[in-house]
Amino acid sequence: MEKVKIGLIGCGRIGKLHGTNLCHAVEAADLVAVADPYLNDGMKEWAKDMGIPQVSNDPESIFTNPEIQAVWICSSTPTHADFIKRAAKAGKDVFCEKPIDTDPAKIREALAAVKEAGVKLQIGFVRRFDHNHKKVHDVVASGKLGKPNVVKVTSRDPDHQSMDYIKVSGGIYMDMTIHDFDMVRYLAGSNVTEVMAYGAALSGAGYDKLGDVDTTIVTMKFENGALGVIDNSRAAHYGYDQRTEVMCDKGCVQVSNDLNDQAMISSAEGVEISKPQWFFLERYNNAFIAEDAAFLDAIINKKESPVGAEDGLQPVLMAIAADKSLKEGRPVKISEIE
């Protein structure tokens, strides 16, 4: 089987996740190098366990390695755009975790570099590779239910992150809803032209002190005429609630959550079923493998990237617009941003 030689930049939680999948679960991958400026013993041990030959604290060691065909950028967000440009210049295909940046101008620069170099780019919107959401997309895209009319996403995290994290998260729209902004575009097969956001800090966990909210409902219009709605909560408590639905001309396709198991326990006290899987590591475990495999498939078989340049920009514009809508109490057009 043809394999692609890969260099991984960033060896934190998400970097190790991709790295382990590239070593153990994605057949077309040959992970030959890893680099992290903050390389530590744990990372070194992990790399040894995985049998990765080249380990360094210098990302340049990846870009200058002529054997490497593709780069996985899993470092912190502020480094993404520069690393993309550097990889493009080196002629390497790029997988980059989301978002490219929170500044549309920087994103556009990075995308221009990718375009100029003619390399492939995939953004890490992993949920597109989830069996459930992909099924919704595929049914809509097949056209058998007609055109989409209403796109709905419910997305709730199982529990609060630390307030230290929230403080630097960029706010709910850039940190959390951004996944759903990508999802609605994926499901509707269309860009969004306008958003309206309602939000509130209802949990008492202190989001309001940070100028942030823990609960939001965002409605939107799509270019193709459809309407959409996303509802988010930072703390569902019962697990990771990830549901999508598209109402079309002739019917509706919707997905409920994957549960921990299919048990039903019935007694005089009541009937109990199992909770949704706890968080993204369980729920999107297979999706992470599938997204890496999809990019390698695009590289090897010279297909278009399944999550390309436009997908790197639009959700960020939507997040900025939603934030503006919430603050100004009015609908905001995407064209107002930039």
Min. distance of Cβ 56 from a copy of itself in angstroms?
23
* Interface with a copy of itself in residues 301-330 (CB under 8 A): 329-330
Which residues 6+ apart lie within 8 Å of 164 measured at CB?
Answer: none
Residue 44 in the binding site for a copy of itself (CB under 8 A)? no
Strand partners, 216: 199, 232
Query: How far, CA to CA in Å, does 41 sit from each of 11, 55, 79, 312?
Result: 11, 11, 22, 33
* Interface with a copy of itself in residues 51-80 (CB under 8 A): 51
Which residues 6+ apart lie within 8 Å of 186 measured at CB?
Answer: 125, 128, 133, 137
Nearer to a copy of itself, 51 or 66 (CB): 51
* HEC letters along 110-150: HHHHHHHHCCCEEECCHHHHCHHHHHHHHHHHHCCCCCEEE
Among the listed ranges 54-62, 95-103, 117-125, 251-259, the one in contact with a copy of itself (CB under 8 A) is: 251-259
Give the torsion sign (CA, 55, 56, 62, 65).
negative
Site string for a copy of itself, 117-156 (x = CB under 8 A): --------------xx--xx--x-----x-x-xx-x---x
Residue 161 in the binding site for a copy of itself (CB under 8 A)? no
* CB 188, CB 246: distance < 8 Å: yes
List 227, 278, 282, 297, residue binding a copy of itself (CB under 8 A): 227
Q: How far apart are CA 46 and CA 36, in angstroms?
A: 13
Min. distance of Cβ 314 from a copy of itself in angstroms?
19
Q: How far apart are CA 269 and CA 71, in angstroms?
A: 55
Q: How far apart are CA 105 and CA 191, in angstroms?
A: 19
* Interface with a copy of itself in residues 10-29 (CB under 8 A): 24-25
Query: What strand order describes the sheet that includes 54-56?
Result: 54-56, 29-35, 4-9, 70-73, 93-96, 121-123
Residue 274 in the binding site for a copy of itself (CB under 8 A)? yes
Min. distance of Cβ 19 from a copy of itself in angstroms?
13
Min. distance of Cβ 254 from a copy of itself in angstroms?
6
List 177, 257, 305, 314, residue binding a copy of itself (CB under 8 A): 257
List 52, 121, 247, 309, residue binding a copy of itself (CB under 8 A): 247
Residue 177 in the binding site for a copy of itself (CB under 8 A)? no
The tokens for 8 are: 């991984």
Min. distance of Cβ 271 from a copy of itself in angstroms?
5
Residue 273 in the binding site for a copy of itself (CB under 8 A)? yes
Enumerate binding residues for a copy of itself (CB under 8 A).
Answer: 24-25, 51, 131-132, 135-136, 139, 145, 147, 149-150, 152, 156, 196, 198-200, 202-203, 215-217, 219-221, 225-229, 231, 233, 236-239, 241, 247, 249-276, 329-331
